[in-house]
Amino acid sequence: MKKSIPRELAECGATTAIVLGSGLGEFAAGLEHIGSHEYSGLGLPASKVPGHAGRFVVVRLVDRPLLIAQGRVHLYEGWEASEVVSAVVMMHEIGIRTLILTNAAGTVKPEFMPGSWMMLSDHLNLTGQTPLRGGPHFVDMSEVYSRRLRQIFHRVASRQGTILHEGVYAAMHGPQYETPAEVRMLQRLGADAVGMSTVPEAIQARALGMEAAAFSCLTNWGAGLSPDLLSHDEVTSVGKSAAGSLIEILREALPLI
């Protein structure tokens, strides 16, 4: 599909954007909306997964425009890595230089309780795919998630008395959840959380020179770490109830970026 960027979006003036994952779509509620653009009208792929809308919303946060990407598409839906990151490429084209990614993830570290948030310090790309296939080649990945941004978010979280873990996110292709053996493997590989998104977008953001941060809402124990079975409905509902504490952190931290 041909991409077309309406002038209102191209000139929205936002330099920071947030991509909202499962259950976090409500972040934009209660903020002053300046404009809204469905992905389908922009030539971007849109998800059919419940809990993932597909639109850009421009809001005003403390007198500055902020771009919110409500929903994303995933490799497991059958999209190519280049399609999964096409919204990130468009955001860069319209002037976004700081990208905040959010997702829902299973916790694989026993100390990180479901219902809490983890900021990504690093990732393991276990999807077998990359948006950089075909170039650019050999992009440095030493600091995909900005140290500077992490310091700001930690400062704000501790001022607010909110637990904000930091750890390594393992990206799996999905769409099935992991087996208990896979979760044990991930623990041995050094992962703290596991999910099915974010990493292609973070790799693309790095390649474009954007400053990125990412947050996982730890919605459930990884398979085998509790007697419960995993369900998407539970992931979405835990994500919704945990959203408030990240929203508070972002509202205070974003003006400091």
By CB under 6 A, is residue 177 in contact with ligand HPA?
A: yes
| Total of residues contacting ligand HPA (CB under 6 A) | 14
Nearer to ligand HPA (CB atom), residue 31 or residue 49: 49
Cβ(204)–Cβ(89) below 8 Å? yes
Q: What does the per-residue mask of binding to ligand HPA show for 50-69, with x meaning CB under 6 A? A: --------------------
Give the nearest distance from C-beta 142 to ligand HPA in angstroms.
Answer: 26
- Contacts to ligand HPA from residues 102-141, by CB under 6 A: 104-106
Q: How many CB atoms lie within 10 A of CB 88?
A: 27
Greatest pairwise CA separation for the chain in angstroms: 52
By CB under 6 A, is residue 192 in contact with ligand HPA?
A: no
From 25, 19, 27, select the one nearest 244 (Cα to Cα). 27
Q: Is the dihedral of CA 101, 107, 108, 110 positive or negative?
A: positive
Positions annotated as catalytic residues are: 22, 52, 74, 76-77, 104, 196-197, 220, 232
Give the nearest distance from C-beta 171 to ligand HPA in angstroms.
Answer: 9
From 25, 81, 15, 11, select the one nearest 243 (Cα to Cα). 25
Give the nearest distance from C-beta 106 to ligand HPA in angstroms.
Answer: 2
Cβ(100)–Cβ(153) below 8 Å? no
From 103, 74, 90, select the one nearest 39 (Cα to Cα). 90
Cβ(130)–Cβ(81) below 8 Å? yes
Structural tokens at position 232: 């998407």
Q: Which of 9, 87, 235, 242 binds ligand HPA (CB under 6 A)?
A: 235
By CB under 6 A, is residue 220 in contact with ligand HPA?
A: yes
By CB under 6 A, is residue 146 in contact with ligand HPA?
A: no
Q: Which of 120, 194, 212, 249 binds ligand HPA (CB under 6 A)?
A: 194
Chain contacts with ligand HPA (rule: CB under 6 A): 104-106, 172, 177-178, 194-196, 219-220, 222, 230, 235
